[in-house]
């Protein structure tokens, strides 16, 4: 009897600002790359800059544009600058806001869910949230920190519901060291799982703090290798 094929976890490298980091993500095998179009973020780029960076992508690597509470006209205009882009809503957007800003579903989109840290994760109704945002291609799980994302904090994955009938993207505090554990804990709870990393693959600055918006090619490679190892793990169990 042949062994089952390994499960494939899709990978997004987010918060890219430099050409060499886009190239490093592609070379390492990323499925998607993210550009932050939120001016208050230290990783922010303009739509025009995102378009320049996205033109480096080969076929079948998806550019993702992250917005926080942006007007629908701004989202639609920016998406027109980056052909083939998926949009990620990472603020306080309602389902109606997402539907309007995606040009009534013409632009594929993800919706971020801000999961409380600590025991508060158990009180977040992810099933209801996913149902409310049923037009989203996936629900992205990020830790609820001050501001909107990019905090490098991981929530308690074990407190998520045991079964969520949608595609999930695990984010928030992921690193090459912990992503395999996150995949193995969350993947059984959903249709399919993808992962999204930003600060966990950034270069180290003075004192060891991450240089926001500057990626480390070696960390990207180690992160993707860890994801691949987690994907292969079930097949290795007899």
Helix (H, G, I), strand (E, B) or coil at 65: strand
Using only C-alpha atoms, what is the Rg of the chain? 17
Which domains, from first to last, does the chain contain? Answer: 10-236 (3.20.20.70)
Calculated CA dihedral for residues 89, 180, 128, 123, nearest 10 degrees = -110
Tokens of 223: 């992160």
Residues serving a catalytic function are 14, 142
pLDDT value at residue 1 = 47
Residue with tokens 């869910």: 113
Rounded distance between C-alpha atoms, residue 14 and residue 66, angstroms: 9
Rounded distance between C-alpha atoms, residue 89 and residue 93, angstroms: 7
The model's pLDDT over 35-49, given as tens digits with 9 standing for 90+, comes to 999 999 999 999 999
pLDDT value at residue 236 = 38
pLDDT value at residue 237 = 34
pTM over 0.75: yes
pLDDT value at residue 153 = 86
Note down pLDDT in tens along the chain; length 238 residues. 455 566 899 999 999 999 999 999 999 999 999 999 999 999 999 999 999 999 999 999 999 999 999 999 999 999 999 999 999 999 999 999 999 999 999 999 999 999 999 999 999 999 999 999 999 999 999 998 776 766 778 999 999 999 999 999 999 999 999 999 999 999 999 999 999 999 999 999 888 888 999 999 999 999 999 999 999 986 433 3
pLDDT value at residue 131 = 97
């Amino acid at each position: 009897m042949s062994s089952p094929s390994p499960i494939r976890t899709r990978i997004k490298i987010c918060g890219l600002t430099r050409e060499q980091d886009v190239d490093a993500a592609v070379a390492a095998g990323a499925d998607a790359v993210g550009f932050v179009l939120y001016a208050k973020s230290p990783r922010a780029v303009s739509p025009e800059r995102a378009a320049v960076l996205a033109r480096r992508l080969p076929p079948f690597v998806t550019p993702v544009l992250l917005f926080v509470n942006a007007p629908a006209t701004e989202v639609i205009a920016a998406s027109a600058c980056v052909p083939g882009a998926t949009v990620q809503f990472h603020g306080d957007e309602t389902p109606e806001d997402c539907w309007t800003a995606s040009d009534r579903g013409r632009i594929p989109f993800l919706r971020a869910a801000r999961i409380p840290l600590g025991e508060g994760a158990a009180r977040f109704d992810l099933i209801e949230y996913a149902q409310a945002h049923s037009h989203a291609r996936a629900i992205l799980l990020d830790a609820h920190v001050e501001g909107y994302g990019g905090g490098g904090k991981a929530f308690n994955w074990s407190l998520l519901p045991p079964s969520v009938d949608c595609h999930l993207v695990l984010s928030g505090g992921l690193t090459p060291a912990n992503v395999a554990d996150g995949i193995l804990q969350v993947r059984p709870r959903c249709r399919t799982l993808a992962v999204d990393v930003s600060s966990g693959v950034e270069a180290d600055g003075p004192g060891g703090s991450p240089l926001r918006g500057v990626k480390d090619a070696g960390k990207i490679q180690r992160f993707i290798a860890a994801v691949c190892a987690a994907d292969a793990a079930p097949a290795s169990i007899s």
